[in-house]
Amino acid sequence: GEDVEQSLFLSVREGDSSVINCTYTDSSSTYLYWYKQEPGAGLQLLTYIFSNMDMKQDQRLTVLLNKKDKHLSLRIADTQTGDSAIYFCAESINYGGSQGNLIFGKGTKLSVKP
Amino acid sequence: EAQVTQNPRYLITVTGKKLTVTCSQNMNHEYMSWYRQDPGLGLRQIYYSMNVEVTDKGDVPEGYKVSRKEKRNFPLILESPSPNQTSLYFCASREVGTGANEQFFGPGTRLTVL
């Protein structure tokens, strides 16, 4: 079945870049997403990328997509303490009755040290 | 303000005592979904609904029921809660269409079953 894998923890120093990696299995996914969950809160969409794109940049965020390897990454430049959160990668199911459902990874907890 | 609301936010109950967690959205979204979040397991989908009176099982539906009598509401019902249903629950909604269709999440309901 579909699966989304990501490492569980990442620790960086304030001001450094963070790179969170994700692999997915459904090559037909139309969109891939990054969600952010701050402590005690729900998930918020950070950014997404359409499957025919290789890269998307939005201020400090850069998303890279390698469709051949089914690899997605999120780079946060100049990481701040406010970026400490859990980051979820998700792919959209693009077939059958579940079309549009999201499959989430287990989340990467980003800790930013001052 | 566009939002997904859940009630209650926190609930402690005992095994076997029926409970309902309400979810409501004010964005006129067709699609609504329930997830549970457990440490090390990420988000897993319980049930989803593509529209009024249309509901489908997600990945972990056992022990749960839902209903979708109105577009804005999607309650989650635990007829006979058990301790393994202790979890953090999220409701989400989105439009149905061909775009990125961002899912909007509620703030979460932390349920403890003793």
Count Cα atoms within 13 angstroms, Cβ side, for A97. 9
Summarised one tens digit per residue, pLDDT across range B10-69 is 999 999 999 999 999 999 999 999 999 998 888 999 999 999 999 999 999 999 999 999
Residues in B touching A42 (Cβ below 8 Å): 4, 90, 105-108
Question: Pick from B40, B100, B107: which is nearest to A106 by CB?
Answer: B40
Res. A27: pLDDT tops 80: no
Is B100 in contact with A31 (Cβ distance < 8 A)? yes
